[in-house]
Amino acid sequence: MLFINGLKQIIMEMTELREIPSEFIEPYIVDYISKSLKALAEGRDFDDVDDFKSKMQGMHRFIQHTCGIHARLASDNMIFGKLINGDNDEILSAAKDAYLK
């Protein structure tokens, strides 16, 4: 009986937090994106803009599967809308304008 109660407690704790709260994760997402854009502008950490886009696609997938609704909506608008589907030259020039002035 003790084993079953312990197992029940573990299952309850595992299902209690189904997603990372948006207010917790959003500052880290913004920090990651800004540091990635700076690295892209400086020509480090990424082979090219397509490599940067693939990393942003991975970040977008992570957010969609693990984070709260507000982070998912912001990800759809910012990451998916502008950084994944944007033109390579526009992304690179925007990053350079923002970080190399």
Confidence of residue 68 (pLDDT cuts 50, 70, 90): confident
Burial (CB count <10 Å: 0-12, 13-18, 19+), residue 56 = buried
- The pLDDT confidence band at residue 2, using thresholds 50, 70 and 90, is low
Which among 90, 86, 96, 88 is positioned nearest to 38, based on CA atoms? 96
Instruction: Name the average pLDDT for the chain.
Output: 84
Contacts of 5 (CB under 8 A, 6+ apart): none
Torsion of CA 3, 4, 10, 15, to 10 degrees: 170
Q: Do you know the residue count of the chain?
A: 101
**75 in Cβ contact with 30 (< 8 Å):** no
pLDDT at position 11 over 70: no
Q: How confident is the model at residue 67 (pLDDT cuts 50, 70, 90)?
A: confident
